[in-house]
């Protein structure tokens, strides 16, 4: 692998790691902040919804208490067999139910819990209804002169979770009957709570997690509602039964992670859950995460070109230094390194140039010495040996003759 490739990979890896580390750190901090702020919002929303529910229930209860003072209701209790009177009251009750979609039925009961008038006239005189209602705690309290709310429970007439509002009807200071409208919890959720949270990403639900929805399974219901009740996809966690309110996290059947605030309401006895998807909570920073990934890719591409443009001149100078070292190795001292940068590489090139100059100067000195000593040697050789006409050498130098032991001869020739 070339050096430039290694440098570019190292630089790109450093940039990507730095971006990843910074994005991860910011993501974790932002996630914690978003989750904490969402928990606060969900808790406040649950409190607000509790107040809205209490206000709405009080409003319905007050309206029912107002109807308990209406002469038409009292006359119906006095004359339960007056068909015209009962029909008029039935029509009035039906209009009330139509005007307020969260009401399932509106009933007037006598002291024995027999239905005198109803928004569903078929219930009048229904023995099964009388037997069930006479044992209900809300009816018993109303007969004792106490307006009250009971819920949530399963309605035998519809097989749906409901709550009831029981208001006593006084005639001459005595309780002569009970007004008992039924509130459908499913309609309560859709008609009241959905509009409350329409402008936000959270969803509010009221229900009772301990209700047995199958208690009347297979029963022949007298009140059939086309839109069936769908149990909320919320697990009943242990902490929900241990405290009045809190924050929970769970996954739905579609594996969607949820954060929610829950709060128990005493009257009626049901549970408020305000939930929000974690994907919605983290959506702002998820968008930032994807943007950071795009930026990392862009910076990676830019770093390749930037690193290539920045490193190529340096690598060219390094290659020039390498070539210079090879020239020196080969003995070519006439080459020199010409650089476009300074710094350590510049110092290296200067050292190589100085080395070449030094070697060249030394070689020149050695060569000059060789020439000088060769001349001396040549002169010495010419002084030692002389050639005769016939090509033979005569030994003339006295010192050489003495060294060779021929100085005893007067005329010696080779």
Residue 332 lies in a domain: no
Residue 390 lies in a domain: no
Residue positions counted in the chain: 414
Residue 388 lies in a domain: no
Q: Within this chain, do residues 153 and 206 fall inside the same structural domain, yes or no?
A: no
Q: What percentage of the chain carries pLDDT values higher than 90?
A: 28
Instruction: Kindly state the average pLDDT of the residues 126-150.
Output: 92
Residues with Cβ < 8 Å from 323, sequence gap 6 or more?
A: 335
Please tell me the total count of domains within the chain.
2
Q: Does residue 267 or residue 142 have the better pLDDT?
A: 142
Three-state DSSP class for 103? strand
Kindly report the CATH number assigned to the domain that includes residue 294. 3.30.450
Three-state DSSP class for 229? coil
End-to-end, the C-alpha distance of the chain in Å comes to 71
d(CA 322, CA 344): 14
Q: Within this chain, do residues 201 and 295 fall inside the same structural domain, yes or no?
A: yes
Residue 94 lies in a domain: yes
Residue 373 lies in a domain: no
Residue 291 lies in a domain: yes
Q: Within this chain, do residues 31 and 94 fall inside the same structural domain, yes or no?
A: no
Residue 77 lies in a domain: no
Q: Within this chain, do residues 117 and 146 fall inside the same structural domain, yes or no?
A: yes
Kindly report the CATH number assigned to the domain that includes residue 157. 3.30.450.20
Contact (CB, 8 A) for 262 and 246: yes
Strand partners, 174: 171
* The pairing of beta strand 148-154 with beta strand 115-118: unpaired
Domain end marker among 311, 328, 350: 311
pLDDT of res. 71 = 94
Helices (H), 68-151: 71-78, 83-99, 127-133, 137-143
Q: Within this chain, do residues 86 and 172 fall inside the same structural domain, yes or no?
A: yes
d(CA 298, CA 255): 34
Structure tokens at 94: 């039906």
Query: pLDDT digit string (tens) for 47-100?
Result: 988 888 888 888 889 999 999 999 999 999 999 999 999 999 999 999 999 887
Measure the CA angle with vertex 388, ends 386 and 394; round to 5°. Answer: 45
Q: Within this chain, do residues 248 and 161 fall inside the same structural domain, yes or no?
A: no
Q: Within this chain, do residues 173 and 127 fall inside the same structural domain, yes or no?
A: yes
d(CA 304, CA 338): 27
Query: What value does the CA radius of gyration of the chain take, rounded to a whole number of Å?
Result: 54
pLDDT of res. 273 = 93
Q: Within this chain, do residues 208 and 158 fall inside the same structural domain, yes or no?
A: no
Q: Within this chain, do residues 106 and 151 fall inside the same structural domain, yes or no?
A: yes
DSSP 45: H
Q: Within this chain, do residues 185 and 107 fall inside the same structural domain, yes or no?
A: yes
- Report long-range pairs for 302-305 (Cβ below 8 Å, ≥24 apart): 303/8, 303/11, 303/12, 303/15, 304/8, 304/12
Q: Within this chain, do residues 294 and 209 fall inside the same structural domain, yes or no?
A: yes
pLDDT of res. 399 = 57
Strand partners, 249: 259
Q: Does residue 210 or residue 72 have the better pLDDT?
A: 72
d(CA 61, CA 147): 8
Q: Within a 13 Å sphere around the CA of 17, how many CA atoms are in the beta-carbon half?
A: 6
Structure tokens at 125: 């005189």
Query: pLDDT digit string (tens) for 158-200?
Result: 778 888 999 999 999 999 999 999 988 888 788 778 877 766 7
pTM score of the predicted model:
0.63
Structural domain for 159, as ranges? 82-191
Residue 121 lies in a domain: yes
Q: Within this chain, do residues 204 and 291 fall inside the same structural domain, yes or no?
A: yes
Contact (CB, 8 A) for 42 and 273: no
Q: To 10 degrees, what angle do helices 283-330 and 344-384 make?
A: 10
Tell me: pLDDT of 379 over 70: no
């Amino acid at each position: 692998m070339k050096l430039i490739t290694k440098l570019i990979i190292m630089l790109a890896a450093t940039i990507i790691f730095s971006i990843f580390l910074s994005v991860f750190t910011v993501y974790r901090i932002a996630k914690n902040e978003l989750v904490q702020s969402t928990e606060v919002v969900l808790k406040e929303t649950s409190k607000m919804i509790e107040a809205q529910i209490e206000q709405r229930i009080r409003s319905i209860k007050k309206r029912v208490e107002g109807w308990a003072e209406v002469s038409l209701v009292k006359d119906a209790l006095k004359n339960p067999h007056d068909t015209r009177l009962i029909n008029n009251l039935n029509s009035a009750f039906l209009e009330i139910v139509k005007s307020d979609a969260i009401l399932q039925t509106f009933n007037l009961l006598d002291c024995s819990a027999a239905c005198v008038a109803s928004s569903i006239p078929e219930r009048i005189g229904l023995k099964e209804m009388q037997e069930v209602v006479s044992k209900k705690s809300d009816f018993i309290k109303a007969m004792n002169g106490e307006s009250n709310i009971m819920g949530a429970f399963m309605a035998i007439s519809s097989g749906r979770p409901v709550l009831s509002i029981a208001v006593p009807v006084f005639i001459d200071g005595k309780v002569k009957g009970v007004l008992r409208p039924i509130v459908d919890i499913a309609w309560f959720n859709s008609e009241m709570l959905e509009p409350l949270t329409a402008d936000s990403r959270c969803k509010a639900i009221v229900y009772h997690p301990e209700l047995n929805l199958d208690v009347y399974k297979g029963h022949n219901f007298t009140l059939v509602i086309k839109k069936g009740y769908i149990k909320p996809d919320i697990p009943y966690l242990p902490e929900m039964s241990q405290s009045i309110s809190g924050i929970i996290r769970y996954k739905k059947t579609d594996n969607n992670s949820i954060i929610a605030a829950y709060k128990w309401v005493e009257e009626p006895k049901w549970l408020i859950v305000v939930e929000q998807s974690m994907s919605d909570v983290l959506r702002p920073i998820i968008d930032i995460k994807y943007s950071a990934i795009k930026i990392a890719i862009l910076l990676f591409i830019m770093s390749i070109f930037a690193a290539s443009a920045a490193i190529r001149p340096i690598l060219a100078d390094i290659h020039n230094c390498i070539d210079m070292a090879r020239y020196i190795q080969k003995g070519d001292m006439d080459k020199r390194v010409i650089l476009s940068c300074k710094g350590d590489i510049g110092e290296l090139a200067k050292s190589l140039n100085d080395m070449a100059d030094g070697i060249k100067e030394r070689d020149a000195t050695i060569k000059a010495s060789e020439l000088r000593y060769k001349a001396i040697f040549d002169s010495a050789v010419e002084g030692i040996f002389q050639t005769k006409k016939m090509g033979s050498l005569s030994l003339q130098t006295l010192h050489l003759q003495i060294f060779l032991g021929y100085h005893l001869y007067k005329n010696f020739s080779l």
